[in-house]
């Protein structure tokens, strides 16, 4: 799995890559507009960060508190050490219910656990009900973004697949027409399903409830029509008090898409009469990340996707280039913790510009952690081709004379040498990058001349 | 060892130093809450209408199946709560009472006591929520204060109709749930 190789493939279609970049930047701008309407935005980020850090520092206590209160509410709580166990728990419940078809709203955790293929191998039909997720499910693709799963697709792609799967008019690319076709198709699935699966945005220890946020209302359509609701959450999705939701609901949608709030924010506390409510708490490597002090606070993430929308690399390389369930900057600090070898290129898929940390609603120091992972990876894998040129640069910067001479040489060389030499395959840094205009003289020379 | 004890003991063994839990301060809110609420709701593709406007709208519509949980609109209600929510798949209009509304984002809190069955605000084609003017608060913090922790098996902040932008970021209203949300401030 190599990010540069995958990014190169994405960039082959220049016009699509440009469109992808611009689309995400618009989402980032929408975020900027809505947050500027809130004078206390930075205070809210501080609060959210502190609440999450506090929760993580007492995670064992809060998990037991959640279990105690949720059980008292009639929720059946399950614990899963890893993805396999999570899938088995879901599979067991479905077997008990003799259930052969389920509806599922968006859950990045179930993506992480590869729940869909597991259930399909048991002959169970899984219908993802978020429109974007349904589209990529038809195309047999993973989500390329955690909030906008089909952000990489054009209207034409969606029109084509809907024509094939839902028999919509060939060539009709009208989003309203296509959305309404999906509405009809999914309505029949909602009305038939006996079991509905959702993710969890927040679980509240104090009240033993959990909250699911959507704009489409698909999570609610699923669970209120089904007899059994299974909710799956990573153990880091926990907050202490109900009133903490006020902080997080103000931050989440504004950071994600620039809306003031998602249109549906559903609080599940007890099953409806005669129905069942299950909550699965999943570890799958989270306690390992918690043990890494430098990377601990990556677990504060509320999965808003703001870091992806702002990231110059994500925007120009696409979500698939990361090869991980969670892409973008946050994915690049979470994934190496899961498999350092497989994801060794991700921390380098960054300019370290810090924009991700600037927009993060829970103030994760993402760019610093990217830098930290680079150190870990270099320790584990030795230097890369890029590392050698960096060592050379290090030698030049160490000696004032070497720096002066090499500056002079480079200014002459860049003016006169053919591009093929400057951009040779050995120079990894030169890939997709142009050098700036070379100045006629160095600042030092200019200063000597102009000093009064 | 069960997965629960394994997870809990892994965390315990880290002996983490406890970080402080902050208190949430009061923040400034809009001067005119009703106005701010109407503006926020419009931003979410919902709409504030007057009682008269709503009545005119119902009279002019061809809604066949209407359910109202509010005595105010009893006259329009022409069906009972079904045994199974799927029987409301053809519900044209639901009129429900909301408890608390937040001006900063147009979100309205309803819980089981307002709903009868949980599926109603989602499965109905069109949704109307009634809210008393004095139940509009400034922001989400005030809203949660007002709701408190009283037990309801289900509750939701609903802030607009069902919508999606999953097709090339074009906003489409009416994805799976209600195709419109109108709010009457009483």
Residue B154: list chain A partners with CB under 8 A. 266-270, 272
Q: What is the pLDDT of residues A299-323, one digit of tens each?
A: 999 999 999 999 999 999 999 999 9
Q: What is the pLDDT of residues A323-359, one digit of tens each?
A: 999 999 999 999 999 999 999 999 999 999 999 999 9
A-proximal residues of B, 67-106, CB under 8 Å: 85-86, 89, 104-106
User: Look-up: residue for tokens 């559903």?
Assistant: A266
Residue A42: list chain B partners with CB under 8 A. none
Q: Choose among A117, A128, A124: nearest CA to A83.
A: A117
Looking at the DSSP bridge assignments, the partners of residue A78 are A280
The whole-number pLDDT of residue A84 equals 98
Q: What is the largest CA-CA distance in chain A?
A: 89
Contact B18 A244 (CB under 8 A): no
User: Look-up: residue for tokens 């729940």?
Assistant: A115
Looking at the DSSP bridge assignments, the partners of residue A19 are none
Looking at the DSSP bridge assignments, the partners of residue B157 are A265, B109
The distance of B89 to chain A (nearest Cα, Å) reads 8
Tell me if A229 sits within 8 A of A196, measured CB to CB. yes
Beta-strand relationship, B47-49 and B180-185: parallel
Q: pLDDT (tens digit, 0 to 9) for every residue of chain A, 452 residues total?
A: 899 999 999 999 999 999 999 999 999 999 999 999 999 999 999 999 999 999 999 999 999 999 999 999 999 999 999 999 999 999 999 999 999 999 999 999 999 999 999 999 999 999 999 999 999 999 999 999 999 999 999 999 999 999 999 999 999 999 999 999 999 999 999 999 999 999 999 999 999 999 999 999 999 999 999 999 999 999 999 999 999 999 999 999 999 999 999 999 999 999 999 999 999 999 999 999 999 999 999 999 999 999 999 999 999 999 999 999 999 999 999 999 999 999 999 999 999 999 999 999 999 999 999 999 999 999 887 765 566 677 777 888 888 888 888 888 878 777 777 776 667 766 666 766 777 788 888 898 899 889 86
Query: CA-based Rg of chain A, rounded to a whole angstrom?
Result: 25
Looking at the DSSP bridge assignments, the partners of residue A210 are A203, A268
Q: Choose among A214, A345, A427, A288: nearest CA to B166.
A: A214
Looking at the DSSP bridge assignments, the partners of residue B25 are none
Tell the CATH superfamily of the B32-185 domain: NagB/RpiA/CoA transferase-like (3.40.50.10420)
Q: What is the pLDDT of residues A96-110, one digit of tens each?
A: 999 999 999 999 999
Residue of A64, A269, A272 lying closest to B151 (CB–CB): A269
CA dihedral A16, A20, A23, A24 (to 10 degrees): 180
Spatial neighbors of A310 by CB under 8 A, at least 6 apart, are A28, A355, A356, A358, A359
Q: What are phi and psi of A272, to 5 degrees?
A: -65, 155
Q: Quote the pTM value.
A: 0.93
For chains A and B, CB pairs below 8 A equal 243
Residue A129: list chain B partners with CB under 8 A. 176
Interface with B, mutate which of A36, A263, A296 (most B CBs under 10 A): A263
What are the CA-CA distances from residue A231 to residues A104, A263, A278 (Å)?
10, 20, 6
State whether residue A46 is helix, strand or coil: helix
Q: What is the pLDDT of residues A167-187, one digit of tens each?
A: 999 999 999 999 999 999 999
Mark out the alpha helices in B17-64 (DSSP H runs).
Answer: 33-43, 51-60
Give the N- to C-terminal CA distance of chain A in Å, as an integer: 57
Other C-beta atoms lying within 10 Å of the C-beta of residue B153: 20
The distance of A451 to chain B (nearest Cα, Å) reads 54
Tell me if A196 sits within 8 A of A238, measured CB to CB. no
Dump strand ranges (E) for A307-434.
none
């Amino acid at each position: 799995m190599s990010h540069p190789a995958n990014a190169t493939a994405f960039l082959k279609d220049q016009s699509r890559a440009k469109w992808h970049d611009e689309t995400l930047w618009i989402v980032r701008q929408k975020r900027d507009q809505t947050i500027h309407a809130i004078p206390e935005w930075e205070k809210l980020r501080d609060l959210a960060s502190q609440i999450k850090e506090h929760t993580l520092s007492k995670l064992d206590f809060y998990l037991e508190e959640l279990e105690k209160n949720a059980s008292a509410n009639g929720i059946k709580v399950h614990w899963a050490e890893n993805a396999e166990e999570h899938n088995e728990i879901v599979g067991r419940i479905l077997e008990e219910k003799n259930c052969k078809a389920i509806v599922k709203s968006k859950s990045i955790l179930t993506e992480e656990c590869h729940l869909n293929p597991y259930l399909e191998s048991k002959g169970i039909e899984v219908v993802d009900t978020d429109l974007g997720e349904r589209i990529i499910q038809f195309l047999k693709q993973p989500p390329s973004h955690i909030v906008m799963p089909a952000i990489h697709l054009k209207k034409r792609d969606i029109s084509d697949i809907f024509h094939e799967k839902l028999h919509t008019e060939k060539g009709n690319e009208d989003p309203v027409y296509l959305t309404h076709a999906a509405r009809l198709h999914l309505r029949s699935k909602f009305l038939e399903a006996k079991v509905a699966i959702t993710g969890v945005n927040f679980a509240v220890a104090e009240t033993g409830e959990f909250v699911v946020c959507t704009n489409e209302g698909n999570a609610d359509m699923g669970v209120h029509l089904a007899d059994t609701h299974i909710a799956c959450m990573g153990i880091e999705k926990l907050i202490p008090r109900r009133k903490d939701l006020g902080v997080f609901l103000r931050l989440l949608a504004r950071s994600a898409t620039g809306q003031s709030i998602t249109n549906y924010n559903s609080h599940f506390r007890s099953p409806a009469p005669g129905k069942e409510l299950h909550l699965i708490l999943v570890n799958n490597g989270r306690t390992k990340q918690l043990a890494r002090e430098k990377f601990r606070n990556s677990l504060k993430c509320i999965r808003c996707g703001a870091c992806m929308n702002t990231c110059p690399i994500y925007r120009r390389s696409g979500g698939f280039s990361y090869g991980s369930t969670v892409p973008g900057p946050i994915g690049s600090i979470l994934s190496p913790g899961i498999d350092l070898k497989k994801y060794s290129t991700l921390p380098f898929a960054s300019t370290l510009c810090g924009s991700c940390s600037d927009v993060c609603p829970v103030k994760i120091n993402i760019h610093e952690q990217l830098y930290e992972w680079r150190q870990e990876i270099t320790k584990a894998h030795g230097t890369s081709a890029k590392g050698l040129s960096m060592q050379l640069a290090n030698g030049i910067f160490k000696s004032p004379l070497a720096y002066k001479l090499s500056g002079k040489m480079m200014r002459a060389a860049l003016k006169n040498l053919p591009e093929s030499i400057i951009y040779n395959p050995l120079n990894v840094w030169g890939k997709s990058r142009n050098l700036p205009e070379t100045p006629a003289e160095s600042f030092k020379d200019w200063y000597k001349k102009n000093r009064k | 060892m069960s997965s629960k004890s394994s997870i809990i003991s892994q965390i315990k063994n880290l002996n983490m130093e406890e970080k402080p839990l902050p208190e949430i301060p009061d923040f400034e809110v809009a001067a005119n809450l009703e106005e701010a609420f109407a503006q926020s709701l419009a931003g979410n593709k919902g709409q504030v209408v007057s009682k008269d406007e709503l009545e005119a709208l119902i009279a002019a519509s061809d809604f066949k199946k209407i359910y109202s949980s509010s005595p105010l609109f009893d006259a329009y209600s022409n069906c009972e709560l079904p045994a199974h929510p799927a029987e409301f798949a053809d519900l044209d209009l639901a009129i429900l009472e909301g408890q608390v509304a937040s001006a900063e984002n147009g979100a309205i809190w309803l819980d089981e006591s307002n709903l009868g069955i949980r599926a109603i605000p989602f499965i109905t084609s069109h949704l109307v929520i009634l809210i008393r003017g004095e139940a509009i608060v400034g922001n989400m913090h005030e809203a949660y204060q007002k709701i408190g922790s009283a037990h309801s098996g289900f509750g939701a902040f609903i802030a607009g109709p069902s919508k999606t932008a999953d097709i090339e970021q074009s906003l489409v209203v009416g994805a799976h749930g209600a195709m419109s949300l109108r709010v009457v401030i009483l």
